[in-house]
Amino acid sequence: MTEFAKLAKFGGACVSEPDMYRRIAALIRDDATRRFLVVSAISSVTDSLLAAVSKPRAEKEIDSFVAEMRRVHLRLLSKGEPAGDVAVEAIEALCTKLSRLLYGISYTEEITPRVQDFALSFGERLAAQVVAANLRTDGVDAVSFEADQIGLMTDENYGNASALLEETKVHMAPFLRRQEGAGHVSVITGFFGQSPEGKTATFGRGGSDYSAAVVAYALGLPLIEIWKDIGGFMSADPKIVPEAFPLAALSYDEAAELSYFGAKVLHPRAVQPARASGASIAVKNIYDPKEPGTRIGPDTVDRTGDVKSVSYVQDLTTLKVFTAGAGVKEGLLSHAAIALASSGVNVYTAATSQTCIAFVVESDAVGQAKKSLGRLPPTAVDRIEVAPPASLICFVGEGLGYAKGIAARVFRAVAERGINVQLISAGASMVAYHFTVDTKDLERAVQAVHREFFGQPIRVAGGAATG
Ligand code: ASP
Ligand code: MG
């Protein structure tokens, strides 16, 4: 039993092509400490499941949907896998169960968050079967497990659950250590665990990264590898900033802020369990395993620099709640925040003044947000205004709280390009500042911030920008 075993998490893109399994098997052969794997669903399977449960379906539609799920997963099984193997049987059984569930949803024309979570969990259940079977074909002694069956315990917040770390440690660690002792590589489903009432609860989209950190916490593993089909974090989105470059290291806070504010590299909550146990996270590229990728850990706090990376979130809207004296009406902020949270509206950022509280929410959630704010007592709210859709830009750096004049440089760089800054939030976190701009200005604003701190792209003959 190796105390220094690693947790290796493989994202959807790393398990979606037959050729990827050889890469995973090679990684396990190269490093005998990779004993615990967490896997996501095959690419786009979770989206398809979500679409399937979004409205009642005719029986024919359900049958063809499940047949397609079955085909997609059986097709990925390596040819060498003997027919009738446990994986084929398990995939058939999962598809039968999924089909019954979808029939049930269609007959009752009702879907609760709990039932939805159960339906969405089938993507990971199917993927874990395929991954373990293909690893066995490749000579790895792999066994698959469903996280909710082996003690990954969660709260009851279906759709966005959190793991109960200590309970998970008690329930899951001894079981997984026994698998290790027996020489098995455990392939564990990401994305969900078991709620106190014994039901499946998911961690929200992209939640397998969080699962990986939870399993690592339970086992006390010092390293979590997040394998993707792209590299780790970058100084900006290279689609907008061609000269953006990869980042070798980030602190827990920097990684969490970037992930929350749009960098699609890691689940925003994955750093919580890692920080709690002092584990490091290495975000790695499966096509380039020798590259170190981005490391996030207890020893990667660097306060000497200024801005380290710029991220953004599109399709946001600012709701302004006006009151005769927002500052003096005690508790308006908390009432409003509770009203939004209890109707499931996620507030990205907020700013307050004497007469107004501004909340930035996803544009899709504006209707719901207006409804729930509209229920506040009329004495508290004079009127609610909805601003045109906007984008939020976030810049992070552990040095932000220490170096002087960084915010001034950012806003001057943006202003020099004639871009109007709408709402600013600074100082809440020592490592992240953010502001909103009209979406039409988003790209130029992100470029302005990046170029202020990392320089203009070098123009080579022919006009292409290079790093
Ligand atoms: N399959 C889930 C999703 O697509 C979880 C994950 O991929 O991490 O959101
Ligand atoms: Mg996914």
Q: Is 399 in the pocket of ligand 1 (CB under 6 A)?
A: no
Can you tell me whether residue 63 is helix, strand or coil?
helix
What pLDDT, in 10s, does the model give residues 101-150? Answer: 999 999 988 899 999 999 999 999 999 999 999 999 999 999 999 999 99
Q: Is 15 in the pocket of ligand 1 (CB under 6 A)?
A: no
pLDDT recorded at residue 464:
46
Helices (H), strands (E): how many in the chain?
A: 14, 19
Q: What is the value of pTM for the model shown?
A: 0.92
Range 6-229: architecture per CATH:
3-Layer(aba) Sandwich (3.40)
Radius of gyration of the chain (CA): 24
Q: Is 190 in the pocket of ligand 1 (CB under 6 A)?
A: yes
What pLDDT, in 10s, does the model give residues 28-54? Answer: 999 999 999 999 999 999 999 999 999
Which one of the ligands is nearest to 202 CA? 1
Asked if residue 354 has pLDDT above 90, the reply is no
pLDDT recorded at residue 344:
85
Pocket test for ligand 1, best of 14, 40, 265, 269 (most atoms within 8 A of CB): 40
Q: What is the mean pLDDT of residues 431-447?
A: 96
The b-or-e profile of 259-297 (16+ CB within 10 A means b, else e) is bbbbbebbbbbbbbbbbebebbbbbbbbeeeeeebbbbb
What pLDDT, in 10s, does the model give residues 256-270? Answer: 999 999 998 999 999
Q: Is 123 in the pocket of ligand 1 (CB under 6 A)?
A: yes
Q: Is 10 in the pocket of ligand 1 (CB under 6 A)?
A: no
Report how far ligand 2's centroid is from the alpha carbon of 265 (Å): 11
Sign of CA dihedral 297, 261, 446, 231: positive
pLDDT recorded at residue 80:
61
Asked if residue 3 has pLDDT above 60, the reply is no
What pLDDT, in 10s, does the model give residues 270-301? Answer: 999 999 999 999 999 999 999 999 999 999 99
Please identify which residue in the block is written with the tokens 């079977």.
133
pLDDT recorded at residue 231:
86
List the domain boundaries for the chain.
6-229, 309-454
* Cα gap 276→271, rounded to integer Å: 8
Superfamily of domain 309-454: VC0802-like (3.30.2130.10)
The CA-atom distances, in angstroms, between 174 and each of 143, 150, 191, 219, 333 are 16, 10, 21, 8, 45
Is it true that 6-229 and 309-454 share their CATH fold?
A: no
More confident residue, 362 or 429: 362
